[in-house]
Structure 1
């Protein structure tokens, strides 16, 4: 028998069985008892059907009881096994569903041309005011520096340096020290004290010549009225007139500093031969220098030239002349370092004026320096600068005994002018 025929017979048997079961439902228990002639197979089928119906009713009762208890009230009653699907199932309102937290996604900007620009921070407008303030301060500082340079240029210190190096012989260290003081003082117009410099050295080393060069240079830059050359033996030769000389000098200095303040210039006062100055004059000058005067008295330069302490300088130069390997500048720095405390101690005992002064010692002149003095003087007077004649004239000068290859003149260049005039 083929598969088609077997499936057809099976479907027919099931249909007949169902028809008989439906017909038998109408029979009550009395009719079943009264039909003894039914076959045993049919009775078995009827019993199975009755059990199936009883089981079905029991399940319905259980489903109703569970619905009253509140579990799955809206769930459909299953009468027969079916294929499991989600169709027809509605979520129960009694069972709370757990909400899923949505993850916050990071904001990602696209890589294309139209990129979203990040938010800009608002800049404070006070920054522009701060920048403007910086610019104003910078301009003021720059202008102040330019004014300082202009103030120094007014006095032409470079020209003064060239003049002193060319015409002052054997005192390069002292010249450098003096120019350093002038440059520091003249770089500004506001001072808390006047500049006081005291040059000390033996006779003939060039103190008066240095004073004349300074006076001539300052006359050309600040004017004749703001430069004073005071020679004590000329302006105040009598000691009896010292008090009157001191009063006249104080009045003259006051007039000059007031005029210099009006013209915004710094005056120069040169006191030559300060070793001959009387006590009253020194007291008057000390009152002008040391006391807290008004601003015009603070803007002034005082230069004192004297041979005070020359014995210490001469002794030091002769004892240390063996160090021939030293250069001229190094020799002067050593001279200033060792002699300044000795000279200051000696000068302060004479008067308090030198406590306010910067002391610069001038050393002895060697024979080569004296020959330069002869060459310069002979050129000024129009003589032919014959080297043999210059050496002969320099040999007529008195010298200290030669020590360490150095031969120092006892009178410096003081006799040069007199000997050239005899030619």
Structure 2
């Protein structure tokens, strides 16, 4: 074998050795790299994964040094046998060497560069008491909104209380309690009608703002106390609202002739307008009383119908109209005579009058509505027939006024001179009521 062949074979052997060594190192590095990638792909690398990577690097270094040493020994053996003296020794490039690095330094480096893992704070678990133990009652948190609610309730209460007080003050101005005492003392046999009239007045006078005037039609036979009731109301209202705000209109005295009805209607409208304007300035409610309304002419009724209509201005809505008439007296007399047996003796006057109003109001409203449309705007208040006991009370009161000694025997004698209807249901009803009482007392 020549020197050229030996050098060629040595170079081939050396090249093959280096290729094998590079392949082994590459395989080892690729294997370790795959392990590192697996560890990196994990969501949270731990200390054990880091230590395994460090051991892998150390093993690669040791294997590389052993392979390098073996390659150098093989190169020296081949060089001593067939290489030329003075030829430069072929050395491998210094790639991926760990010369001068110890495992202890690598471990210290790793521990210094990798930050320590933070400890997670555990949330406190909610501990519930045992079923057998006591359970602490939950704390009630006081809201500040409650105080605002209490304040609002107090304000509303004060407002309502003031409104009620104002209503009472307005009613007290008209002294309805005194009026009630007067009517109960002076009007005989009509206690139910008196209670109904007072209820209407109280409801209307409790406020000063109205959507319509109060119109009351008092109907009943002759002598049952219609005109007497009107005089008592006029006297009371004159004492509380003044003389100028009360009107007593007697049709037969003011306008007896039908030819003057148109002029009377104009004068009446002007008088009422003047009174309601004065009452509006004084913040009072006037009273208009029309006695013997059955004699009122059509023109006067038309004028009054326009005044009581709800389309008028405010001053016309704050007024009281009282119509006294004997319209419908036949229905009242017939009803009381035919139904007196069905009325219990123990029934109160209020109960008897409520039955009378309930049964007669539709009949009277239909009868009066045919006469004129004014009656459709009115509240119907019927007055019943007077019994013999009521007539005796009328005689007793009139004799006392005239200064006569109230002898019971004399009173019964005078009451016996009055004409009565046939007894019905144990009751004797007077045909003329108390109309002849004053005339008979004057003859004493």
TM-score interval (norm. to shorter) = 0.7 to 0.9
Which residue of 184, 193, 214 corresponds with 1:174?
193
Which residue of 263, 275, 299 corresponds with 1:244?
263
Q: What do the CA deviations read for 1:373-417 (whole angstroms, capped 9, x no partner)?
A: 000000000000000100010000000000110100000000000
Partner SS, residue 381 of structure 2: strand
Aligned to 2:287: 268
Contact kept? 1:200, 1:360, Cα under 8 Å: yes
Q: What do the CA deviations read for 1:304-350 (whole angstroms, capped 9, x no partner)?
A: 00000000000000001112333322111111000000000000000
Partner SS, residue 249 of structure 2: strand
Aligned to 2:394: 373
User: For the residues of structure 2 that align with 1:206 and 1:401, how far apart are their CA atoms?
Assistant: 22
**1:231-380 → structure 2 map (5 Å cutoff):** 231-322=250-341, 323-325=343-345, 326-380=347-401
Contact kept? 2:193, 2:381, Cα under 8 Å: yes
1:223 maps to 2:242: yes
User: For the residues of structure 1 that align with 2:183 and 2:55, how far apart are their CA atoms?
Assistant: 128
CA 1:410 to 1:100, structure 2 compared with 1: closer, same or farther past 3 Å? same
CA 1:146 to 1:121, structure 2 compared with 1: closer, same or farther past 3 Å? closer
Partner SS, residue 104 of structure 1: coil
Partner SS, residue 380 of structure 1: helix
Per-residue deviation at 1:123? 5.6
User: For the residues of structure 2 that align with 1:122 and 1:269, how far apart are their CA atoms?
Assistant: 59
Q: What do the CA deviations read for 1:352-374 (whole angstroms, capped 9, x no partner)?
A: 00010000100000000000000
Aligned to 1:143: 162
**1:42-191 → structure 2 map (5 Å cutoff):** 68-69=55-56, 101-105=120-124, 137-191=156-210
Contact kept? 1:206, 1:413, Cα under 8 Å: yes
Aligned to 1:79: none
5+ residue gaps, structure 1: 1-65, 73-89, 109-117
Per-residue deviation at 1:96? 11
Aligned to 2:409: 388
Per-residue deviation at 1:104? 2.6
User: For the residues of structure 1 that align with 2:410 and 2:143, how far apart are their CA atoms?
Assistant: 89
Contact kept? 1:324, 1:405, Cα under 8 Å: no
Q: May I ask how many residue pairs the two structures share in their alignment?
A: 330
User: For the residues of structure 2 that align with 1:351 and 1:197, how far apart are their CA atoms?
Assistant: 15
User: For the residues of structure 2 that align with 1:106 and 1:71, how far apart are their CA atoms?
Assistant: 46
Q: What do the CA deviations read for 1:114-133 (whole angstroms, capped 9, x no partner)?
A: xxxx9x99968xx9888766
User: For the residues of structure 2 that align with 1:299 and 1:378, how far apart are their CA atoms?
Assistant: 40
Contact kept? 2:208, 2:318, Cα under 8 Å: yes
CA 1:140 to 1:324, structure 2 compared with 1: closer, same or farther past 3 Å? closer
Contact kept? 2:211, 2:310, Cα under 8 Å: no
Per-residue deviation at 1:141? 3.4
User: For the residues of structure 1 that align with 2:142 and 2:147, how far apart are their CA atoms?
Assistant: 16
Per-residue deviation at 1:272? 0.2
Contact kept? 1:229, 1:269, Cα under 8 Å: yes
5+ residue gaps, structure 2: 1-52, 60-106, 128-138
CA RMSD of aligned residues (A): 3.1
Partner SS, residue 398 of structure 1: coil
Per-residue deviation at 1:106? 6.8
Aligned to 1:85: none
Aligned to 1:10: none
Partner SS, residue 199 of structure 1: strand
Aligned to 2:214: 195
Contact kept? 2:212, 2:310, Cα under 8 Å: no
Aligned to 2:432: 411
Per-residue deviation at 1:139? 3.8
User: For the residues of structure 2 that align with 1:335 and 1:199, how far apart are their CA atoms?
Assistant: 13
Aligned to 1:46: none
Per-residue deviation at 1:136? 5.1
Partner SS, residue 404 of structure 1: coil
User: For the residues of structure 2 that align with 1:316 and 1:362, how far apart are their CA atoms?
Assistant: 12
User: For the residues of structure 2 that align with 1:392 and 1:71, how far apart are their CA atoms?
Assistant: 151
Per-residue deviation at 1:418? 0.4
CA 1:71 to 1:368, structure 2 compared with 1: closer, same or farther past 3 Å? farther
User: For the residues of structure 2 that align with 1:338 and 1:67, how far apart are their CA atoms?
Assistant: 117
**TM-score normalised to structure 1 length:** 0.72
